[in-house]
Amino acid sequence: MFKIIKKEPLNPSMTRMVIEAPFVARKAMPGQFIILRVNETGERIPLTIADYDREAGTVTIIYQKVGKSTLLLDEQEAGGYLMDFIGPLGKVSELEGYKKAAVIGGGAGCAIAYPQAKALHAMGTKVDMIAGFRDKDLIILENEMREASDRLIVMTDDGSNGNKGFVTAALQKNIDEGADYDLVIAIGPIPMMKAVSNLTKPYGIKTIISMNTIMVDGTGMCGGCRLTVGGETKFACVDGPDFDGHLVDFDEAMKRLGTYKPEEAREREEHCRLYGGIK
């Protein structure tokens, strides 16, 4: 059992949780993830490690309430326990040796992009952070992202923060103005990562994306997370989750992500009916 040390809402749909998991905290590195299971009947869900404290033995996760399991997770309070918390899993991000990077986060993806920006920034890379949200009420981690970068641009789809447009618009503008990036990191929904990869490809800017596939074990034993990269089958849990955005078959990945849509919708609805839905 793994104790929940702290829990705080970041916006109406996102929550930050600090979990006591000393073994995970000792080894965690940027880009890696954990698998958790809330209770005995729960499913195993992957979440990226948003932060860690080796001395305190804690690991921070940030999750968006999108379905039954994340709603169930959000019903747990500080002082309570999670049944299973397994990690660190996946490959460590390779961030060394870059001069100037654009780190792009889309919605919940900002929670994963932010530690990447922080790590790059700490290594002396110049970092432009571009964060995209649907509207201004959903903006998270603004101060943290500002501190982790040389420049922060926050975009909203509806322009409610005065900066209307997708992240790709901001990236295009920076490139046009001569930003001269040697690395772009994009983390968010698959269509967003695909759009960023398509944008950078003609410029030949190395683009790393973090794949959010369906996973079960997270240790390479089932292949549920497989995707096609450069024509080869890869397992996101052990070969990734970071991949070269110019080589990933995003359309296939998008379809695979929708495998359990009917089951997920039903589970969510039943859970909401039983427990009164999102608080």
Partner 1 sequence: MPNMQPNKTPMPEQDPHVRNKNFKEVALGYTDEMAINEAQRCLQCKNPACVQGCPVNVPIKDFIHEIVEGNMDKAYEVIKSQNSLPAVCGRVCPQETQCESKCVRGIKNEPVAIGRLERYVADWYMNNREPAVTAPKHNGHKVAVLGSGPSGLTCAGDLAKLGYEVTVFEALHAAGGVLMYGIPEFRLPKKIVQEEIQQLEKMGVKIDTDMVMGKVLSVDELFEMGYEALYIGTGAGLPNFMNLPGEGLVGVYSANEFLTRINLMKAYLPEYDTPIIHPKNVAVVGGGNVAMDAARCAKRLGAENVYIIYRRSEEEMPARNEEIHHAKEEEIIFKLLNNPVAIHGDEQGKVKQIECVEMELGEPDASGRRRPIEKKGSNFLLDVDCVVIAIGNSPNPLIRSTTEGLEANKKGCIIVDDNTLQTTREGVYAGGDAVTGAATVILAMGAGKHAAKSIDEYIQSKADQ
Angle at 167 between CA 18 and CA 235, to 5 degrees: 60
List the one residue from 134, 238, 246, 247 that touches partner 1 (CB under 8 A).
238
Nearest-angstrom CA–CA distance, 31 and 76: 25
Rounded to 5 degrees, φ, ψ at 15 are -135, 145
Q: Check binding of 203 to partner 1 (CB under 8 A).
A: no
98 C-beta neighbours (distance < 10 Å), count: 18
Closest approach of partner 1 to the CB of residue 74, in Å:
14
Nearer to partner 1, 169 or 216 (CB): 216
Q: Are 146 and 121 in contact (CB under 8 A)?
A: no
Closest approach of partner 1 to the CB of residue 252, in Å:
5
List the one residue from 14, 24, 95, 199 that touches partner 1 (CB under 8 A).
24
Q: Check binding of 104 to partner 1 (CB under 8 A).
A: no
Q: Check binding of 54 to partner 1 (CB under 8 A).
A: no
Q: Are 154 and 104 in contact (CB under 8 A)?
A: no
List the one residue from 122, 137, 233, 278 that touches partner 1 (CB under 8 A).
233
Q: What residues between 207 and 226 interact with partner 1 by CB under 8 A?
A: 216-217, 219-224, 226
Q: Check binding of 99 to partner 1 (CB under 8 A).
A: no
Q: Are 186 and 107 in contact (CB under 8 A)?
A: no
Q: Are 104 and 188 in contact (CB under 8 A)?
A: yes
Closest approach of partner 1 to the CB of residue 135, in Å:
30
Give the H/E segment covering residue 33.
strand 33-37
Closest approach of partner 1 to the CB of residue 167, in Å:
26
Binding site, annotated residues for FAD: 62-64
